Structure 1
Amino acid sequence: MNIKVHSVRIDADKDLNSFIQERVDKLELFYDRIVGSEVFLRMDGASKTDDKVVEIRMSIPGKELFAKKQGKSFEEATDLAVDALRRQLKKRKQKAQSKKSEPF
């Protein structure tokens, strides 16, 4: 899977990038047809505590999934966004499997 990490007005270090790569790569365990992902890291000035924002846009055949989460750190927000995408992927996979098992 192709993963692109974009840092908007912040400098993401190598450790953060590898953390994000690792977490997003694990989503392939739940759905093996993922084409690619884009991750956007932002700082939200409106909130004092949960000011780190992570947006993940994931492409799969026929659809694009999206999750946006805030947290106290980019790692926390990444975990929340990946959990949201995992739920979406499981739901998508269950729908596809139920369509295959339906009689004509």
Structure 2
Amino acid sequence: MKINIQFIHMDTSEAMEAYTTEKLNRLAKKYDMIIHTDVFFKSEKDPKGKGNICEMEVSMVGPRIFASSNEENYEVAVKNTIKDLEKQLEKRKKTLKPYL
């Protein structure tokens, strides 16, 4: 699986890249149908205290899957986004029919 991580309106972070890559590799082991993942980290000013946004777009057989979350820190945003992706992947896995 190929992973593309981009930081928008903020500085790049080696630690966040490593953390995100580790979490996505675990997901790829479970779902081998994933081809490519685009990850976007955004920082926006939010009066509620949040504003750390993580968006992920997964390319696979069929339509792409997208998930996003807005949290107080990026680690929680990554976890919540991957949970959303996992739910969508599980639904997609049930609909795919294996070829014999």
Q: Fold conserved (TM > 0.5)?
A: yes
The answer for the alignment partner of 1:7 in structure 2 is 7
More displaced stretch, 14-23 vs 47-56: 47-56
Asked whether the equivalents of residues 54 and 74 of structure 1 are also in contact (C-alpha less than 8 Å), the reply is yes
The answer for the alignment partner of 1:76 in structure 2 is 76
Q: Which amino acid is the alignment partner of residue 30 of structure 2?
A: F
Specify every segment of 5 or more residues in structure 1 that has no aligned partner in the other structure, as ranges: none
Give the whole-Å Cα distance in 2 for the aligned partners of 1:51 and 1:86: 23
CA RMSD of aligned residues (A): 1.3
Q: Compute the displacement of 1:94 (Å).
A: 1.1
Q: Runs of 4+ in structure 1 displaced over 6 angstroms?
A: none
- Which has more radius of gyration? 1
Report Cα offsets for 1:40-92 as digits up to 9, x if no partner.
Answer: 00012134411100000000011200001011111110000000000100111
Asked whether the equivalents of residues 52 and 74 of structure 1 are also in contact (C-alpha less than 8 Å), the reply is yes
Identity %: 24
Give TM-score, length-normalised by structure 1. Answer: 0.87
Give the whole-Å Cα distance in 1 for the aligned partners of 2:8 and 2:16: 14
Give the whole-Å Cα distance in 2 for the aligned partners of 1:72 and 1:34: 28
Specify every segment of 5 or more residues in structure 2 that has no aligned partner in the other structure, as ranges: none
Give TM-score, length-normalised by structure 2. Answer: 0.90
When the two structures are aligned, how many residues end up with a matched partner?
Answer: 98
